[in-house]
Every structure is written in C-alpha cells, then in structure tokens.
Amino acid sequence: MRKTLALILTTVLLVVFLVPSAKTLAIEDIYVYMSTSQETVNLGDILEIKIMAERMPHVVSFKNLDVSYDKVQLSYMSAVTSTDLPETFTVSAANDSNVGVVAVNGKDESVEDYINEHKTSTEDGEEFDEDYEDISFNSSDAVELCTLKFRVVSAAYEKVNFVLSAETTFSNSLGESIGSYTADYFTIPITTDVSKDSSLDMIKINGKPIPGFKRDSLEYAYTVDKNTSVIDFECEPGNSFATFEVTGTDLTFGDNTFYIDVTAQDGVTTTRYKIVINRPSQVTEGAAGFLDNKGQMFTFVNIPDDAIIPEGFRKSSININGFDVQCYVTDGMTQVLIYVLDSEGESGFRVYYPDLNKVINYSSTNTIIKKSSLYTVKDIPPDVKVPKGFTEIQFICDSKQYPGYVNAAGVVICYLETEKGVRGFYRYDFDTQSFTKYEVKEDTDALYKGLFNFCLGVAIFEAIAIIVIVYVVRRFRKERVNPRPRRV
C-alpha cells in the first residue's frame, strides 16, 4: 500500500514539474490580438483595426508582426502609432498589396541609444555601468501598438477578413527575446446601404494634420506663421462617397473662421467642422506708427471686438511704414480702413490712401463709401443756398439714413465732400446707387427765359415798326408819283 502511494505521489510531481502549462506560456510570452469597434461597414467606409499587446514588459522593440487582409475588398491607407506608446517609440508599416499583408515593426531608438551608451563589455559578458537606469517602456496592462486603416472599395461585397500572424518577436531592455502568440482573426460584414457617415477622418492645413483631430470633435483652433496668407485644406471623409465644401482660403491677421461642411452619401446627413485659424501680426498695440502726408502721427492699435465693420468690407492686410498691419478692403477701391490712434488720443477707423500716404476721418454715420469714391456728409455753409423747389428729407443709402433734399420730380440731392475735399450738392441715383455732381440750373434758366422774352418783344416791336415804316414810305411815294388833281 505504501509503495502504491509513493508511486502515485512521484507521478503527480513529475507531471507538475515536467509538463509545461498554458498559464506559464501566457506569462512568459506576449499575447497579441486585433480589435475594432465597427461591427459592420458600408461601401466607401474607413475600417480601423487596432493592433494590441496584452502587456509590454520593458519592451524596446518588436518585429515581424504581419496582418493579412482581404485585398479584393479593401485598400490599405495608413498606420497610426498609438498614443499608448512613448513619443520616442516609432512604429512603421510596410504594405504588400500584391499578397495583402501589412508588416508592422516598432522600435524605441532613444532607449536603445541610452542602453548602448551605458553598456560595457567584460570577460563575463556585457554589463551596465552604475549610472544606468531602466527607462524602457513597461506596462502590465493592454497596450495599443498602432491602428491600421483600410478603405472598403466600391466593388466590395459580403464581408472582409483579417488574420494576425504569430511570428512577432519582442525584445526587452536586457536584449532578451520575448515570444508572442496569437490565433486571432475575424470577419466584418459589408452592407450595401446608403451611408449616413458625414464625418471627416483627417484635416490637414497646408499639408500638416491638425493636432489632436478626432472625427467627432467639431471645433478646432490652429495658429500659422504670420507670413501665411493662403490656407489649403486637405480633408479625408470617413466615407469616400461623402462630399465636403470649405468656406474660403484667404487668411488675414488675427482670427479667421473657416467652416468645412460635409454631406454624407445619402445627401441628407451633414456635419459642420469649425476651424479658427490665427495669423499673428508683428504689430501689437502701441508698437508702431507712421506720419501721413500732413505730418500727423498715427499709431496702430488693436481693433476692439465690438468695432462695426462697414458693409461690403472684408479683412486683409497692408504694409505701412514697413509693418504688415490688418486693414479692411472692398472691391473697386484702393483706399483701405485702418484702426489707429491719432496724436490727440482718439482711436478709431481712418480711411488710408496707400498711393498718397493720406489719412482722412471715417464716421459710421456720415461717411458714404461707393466703388472708387468716398463721400462725407457735411453741413451746408451759410453762403450756400438750397436749390429752389427742394425740401428736406431723410433718404436711405446702403441701409443707412442720410439728410438730403427732394423736389417735385423726385430728384434727391445731398451736400457732400469728396475724398479730394471738393464740396457741393450731389444727386443720388437709386437705380445705380451712385452719386453725381448736381448742377443748379434754376436761376440760369430764368435768366435765359427772361432774355428770350425780352429779345422776342424787341423783335416783335421791330417787325411792327418796319411794317409801319414800309407802309408810310409807300404811301408817300405813291402820292408824289401820282398826285391828286387839284380842283379849280
């Protein structure tokens, strides 16, 4: 009986110590697997596959991680390094579209260089110096290595397949190899429904991705160099059948707001992304100024948020006295609006003439801006009279009210000063929404009419006089030629 018990006990001990268990393998090796949040995909969708490791025990590099994909149904796009890894950890992916395999490798070159600097060779092998600290990446939790992106092609059907190989080898900070294992594969069904995806998978500004971009985050702030005046947006829709439209490309100093409107394949679902791009100016409040053609000093100051910009004007920039400053321009005019502080401490918009280095005041209530012309409403001087037949009114010009005068024929005039300093009455044409010089004709017309009537009267008088004279002369001559017989 005792011999039997001893034999059984010996057999149990041999099984425990000699037969490797699955648990021991799982602890020594690293389990690598795939993950995705997409249960189904539509034609044109971007499919994201995450490559995961169950843990990273002081891993410095890994190689030979192969993902096989259905090359008939999918088109490989890119690989994105995970934020779970240190910034010094570089992950690269080589795609072989002929066989449908993406080979993924990773290495922390910074840590490798550090290890080599602190490693010395001895008779017993390689050792680390006393200053060495193990700074390699270590995690006992699951770590995302990278995300592979694929596009579902328009000819795809039924399903797509992925297989992850088990040939990956990890290396730790001691130079030791760590095996890996996986038997991971999965299938994702493809639907033929019209896509409602109106998201963007990527936005690039002048070739550079927006930092921290996420397809479900709709507002971003971005800063460019002060010399950047044109923006080029490059967008990648989440579904290739979605379309997008960008509002504008020109960039001025300060904050510039752009919108990217995305419309899904269904033509109904839409998403709007808002990007505020700041172009810094080298001019700040009180930093620079200039003298105009009259010797008056003006200093550039920041434009307040509540400033009223005239209708039809848009942001731009102009170089004045060697400084690039923000201004406002409108079509058809060389003059621009600048916001400055004058020598008397008054700040506000001024009209600036680049060719003449001239500055004139601007008033939101009295300044009328037309293409190629600028007028200022002025009070009528005492020595100037309003033309006869005109009465005071308030007329509308560019959605604003201005004082003027109207006559019985509906002619509207206004007393204005031009940009050249010429004052007078100007007629407003409501059809063309323009001003033309108004000539006062009433007094000259009366003079001409009186002169005409006088000349007409003289002419009539002269005609009657001539008739009388002719009649008298003829009568006189008749009597002399044919005298009347005298009675005896």
Q: Is 277 exposed, middle or buried (0-12, 13-18, 19+ CB in 10 A)?
A: buried
pLDDT band at 21 (very low <50, low <70, confident <90, very high): very low
How large is the average pLDDT for residues 297-311? 80
For the segment 412-433, the average pLDDT, to the nearest whole number, is 84
What is the SS3 assignment for 417? strand
Q: What is the pLDDT of residues 437-464, one digit of tens each?
A: 887 765 555 566 667 777 888 888 888 8
Across the strands, what pairs with 325? Answer: 318
Question: Is residue 264 pLDDT above 90, yes or no?
Answer: yes
Highest-confidence segment of 20-29, 160-169, 230-239, 412-421? 230-239
pLDDT digits (tens, 9 = 90+) for 33-92: 999 988 999 999 999 999 999 999 999 999 888 999 999 899 999 998 888 999 899 999
The residue ranking higher by pLDDT, 418 or 188, is 188
Is 332 exposed, middle or buried, given 0-12, 13-18 or 19+ CB atoms closer than 10 A? Answer: exposed
Higher-pLDDT residue of 388 and 372 is 388
**Under 8 Å between Cβ of 203 and 273:** yes
pTM for the whole thing? Answer: 0.52
Q: What percent of the chain has pLDDT over 90?
A: 28
Cβ neighbors of 263 (< 8 A, separation 6 or more) are 198, 242, 243, 244, 269, 270
Q: How far apart are CA 334 and CA 461, in angstroms?
A: 63
Tell me the β-bridge partners of 340.
300, 348
Q: What is the pLDDT of residues 134-170, one digit of tens each?
A: 889 999 999 999 999 999 998 888 889 999 986 778 9
Residue 248 has pLDDT above 60, yes or no: yes
